[in-house]
A = this chain, B = another copy of it.
């Protein structure tokens, strides 16, 4: 069993009408606030006005960077860092989903670097400082609100890279489930697929470190399976939105990791997909994950699938291990492609095998040394083919 350091200091305001605390939290860090957001959906739902009112009430000075894309680009990071340097910004306020939050983290880091922010993603520039970050979350999916990681795309090089720097950990996050009432069925489903994939990446591990965390992960997966369909059916169901929101945070904030040595498999593969085809991250993960499971299921790994089937899907534990294991993958497919209604193949979303070889090579670079089942480029290419 491996040692670990648990250090997740983000403070979270959870629930409705918590934004009344926003001004006080921002003020702890200074006067000049850079508000970052995406394409303007926060204006449609009235969140922008609420946030700006709180900033104004607190007597803070507001700067803005809008237009951060899904699969956020390094150009937005550079643009944000330029504002921070020029205006001497004290604190960043990211209002949006994972893309806005991820981008804002790198803006905070790039403010202390004189050069192209892409150097940070290429690990050519050290990240030892970051502007303080406060977030207002609008989508339950990536968990960026309580972790120190972020993924940035570079459309020029067709690269998508995710890194973790502890200084990028948000100081405070506001999680209001009612803000997600307007998230449509598709993005609710993609969020659910993203969070279940975050857990699967950690859970499927032959290192049985800290079994209590397996129980916790099983509980989180059961929560997603229980509440995602409810949120899709009844978008303003507070209980469903709240359970999904808090689960998405805990699926990836680091608690469930313990000291497990791990190397994520489906995420690196998906990053290659969305880097080239700009698809929604959760959708890519939904298509990839069951095929990765089918490919990695064997006599050495069967016990983990069995545990997954019995503890998450309630399958009959008296049946043969391999039978339960296979059935567990079918149950996951039923959930993703049936209940959530997500497309089940790459073909369906217009992706063919043109780039599989290069994507497979790049995925391996992501590192699979401690993976559940180490995969060479040829293995990954085969998994991509299984998704057609």
Interface positions of A (Cβ within 8 A of B): 1-9, 11-18, 208, 210-212, 214-216, 218-220, 222-223, 226-227, 238-239, 242-243, 246-247, 250, 258-259
Contact call B212/A243, Cβ cutoff below 8 A? yes
Min CB–CB distance A322 → chain B (angstroms): 23
Q: In the docked arrangement, what's the CA distance between A14 and B11, Å?
A: 22
Choose one: B1, B214, B216, B238; the contact of A238 (CB below 8 Å): B1
Contact call A210/B11, Cβ cutoff below 8 A? no
Q: In the docked arrangement, what's the CA distance between A161 and B218, Å?
A: 37
Min CB–CB distance A169 → chain B (angstroms): 11
Q: In the docked arrangement, what's the CA distance between A258 and B242, Å?
A: 11
For this complex, 25 residue pairs linking A to B, each with C-beta atoms less than 8 Å apart, are A1-B242, A3-B13, A3-B15, A3-B16, A3-B18, A4-B14, A4-B15, A5-B12, A5-B14, A6-B12, A6-B14, A14-B258, A15-B259, A208-B239, A210-B242, A210-B246, A212-B250, A215-B218, A215-B219, A215-B220, A215-B223, A216-B220, A218-B219, A219-B219, A246-B258
Please give the count of copies of this chain that the complex contains: 2
Q: In the docked arrangement, what's the CA distance between A215 and B16, Å?
A: 23
Q: Which residues of B contact A18 (CB under 8 A)?
A: 3
Contact call A223/B211, Cβ cutoff below 8 A? yes
Please name 6 further chain A to chain B contacts, defined as beta carbons within 8 Å, in addition to the given A4-B15, A214-B219, sorted by A numbering: A1-B15, A1-B242, A3-B15, A211-B227, A211-B243, A215-B216
With A3-B16, A18-B3, A219-B218: A212-B246 Cβ-Cβ less than 8 Å:
yes
Nearest CB to that of A6 among chain B residues?
B12
Min CB–CB distance A314 → chain B (angstroms): 10
Contact call A220/B211, Cβ cutoff below 8 A? no
Q: In the docked arrangement, what's the CA distance between A252 and B11, Å?
A: 17
Q: In the docked arrangement, what's the CA distance between A211 and B18, Å?
A: 21
Nearest CB to that of A218 among chain B residues?
B219
Contact call A14/B3, Cβ cutoff below 8 A? yes
Contact call A11/B9, Cβ cutoff below 8 A? yes
Q: Which residues of B contact A6 (CB under 8 A)?
A: 11-12, 14
Nearest 4 pairs between A and B by C-beta?
A215-B219, A3-B15, A212-B223, A6-B12
Q: In the docked arrangement, what's the CA distance between A2 and B11, Å?
A: 17
Nearest CB to that of A177 among chain B residues?
B1
Q: Which residues of B contact A218 (CB under 8 A)?
A: 215, 219
Q: Which residues of B contact A13 (CB under 8 A)?
A: 3, 5
Min CB–CB distance A174 → chain B (angstroms): 10
Q: In the docked arrangement, what's the CA distance between A239 and B210, Å?
A: 7
User: Which among A9, A16, A212, A259 has the highest number of chain B CB atoms within 10 Å?
Assistant: A212
Q: Which residues of B contact A258 (CB under 8 A)?
A: 14, 246
Nearest CB to that of A240 among chain B residues?
B211
Min CB–CB distance A246 → chain B (angstroms): 6
Q: In the docked arrangement, what's the CA distance between A245 and B12, Å?
A: 25
Contact call A14/B259, Cβ cutoff below 8 A? yes
Nearest CB to that of A12 among chain B residues?
B6
With A5-B14, A11-B6, A218-B219: A211-B238 Cβ-Cβ less than 8 Å:
no
Nearest CB to that of A7 among chain B residues?
B11
Choose one: B2, B214, B238, B250; the contact of A15 (CB below 8 Å): B2
Q: In the docked arrangement, what's the CA distance between A344 and B8, Å?
A: 40
